[in-house]
Amino acid sequence: MEKPNRKTILITGASRGIGYAVATSFAQNGYIVYANYNKHPNALNQLSEQFSEDGYTLIPIHGDVSCKKDVDDMISKINGVDVLINNAGISQFKQFIDITEEDWDHMMSVNLKSAYLCTRSVIPYMIHNKWGRIINVSSVWGVTGGSCEVHYSAAKAGMIGFTKALAKEMAPSGIQVNCIAPGVIDTDMNRDLSESDLQRIKEQTPIGTIGLPEHIAEAALFLVKNDFITGEVLNINGGFYI
């Protein structure tokens, strides 16, 4: 089957939050969007039906992206990935002394190994076409480190190193690799923050508010469209650093 003359994008962890906003934005901008989920397809299924009526293409696709078999099965159902956004991730708030080996391994598997598996699976197609875009979603804590989130910070810092090294290796093949490091964003991942915590974060943020998933989606779209950015970490955090 001949591929339509539109770029195909795969977004991992797209069932909610940042991934959902990115999937929505790219579909509305004319991309063929494969929106990955693992456990919660309902919102994506509803969005897919709505977008189909509006002439947009968003296809929910299941897979545990920390599992090689799931990733291979998922990619086999897609007719080539032009743009990959490694967004899938989990967080956990624990003192370092309480982090178990299972906690550590699970964090690294979902937040870092998944990026390796998905990238490794799609990159031969990009190399063949001499064109591709890969965006890895890190975190402000991957840049600065977060107290009581050592394993999360380590995994997200790993995403930054992964980005910078891969960008150098893939640039001669026409593939640009960049990273977005969001600050505190209004998503389910941060819903456990108390009102006093949120107020403190807002006061420490020069812009005076926390971010929205749509802010990250806009940045991802910018990075995909730009032809002269690679190996960069784009900090979208309202000026928030500790």
**Bridge partners for 132 per DSSP:** 175
List, for residues 128-156, the tens digit of each pLDDT value: 999 999 999 999 999 999 999 999 999 99
**What is the predicted pLDDT for the residue at 208?**
85
**What is the predicted pLDDT for the residue at 1?**
41
Of the residues 20, 37, 152, 241, which is catalytic? Answer: 152
- What three-state secondary structure class fits 104? helix
Q: What are phi and psi of 86, to 5 degrees?
A: -85, 95
List, for residues 216-228, the tens digit of each pLDDT value: 999 999 999 999 9
Rounded-to-integer distance, Cα 240 and Cα 230, Å? 24
Residues 6+ apart with CB under 8 A from 122: 10, 75, 81, 84, 132
Q: Which domains does the chain have, with CATH numbers?
A: 8-234 (3.40.50.720)
**What is the predicted pLDDT for the residue at 205?**
84
- Whether residue 56 lies in the annotated active site: no
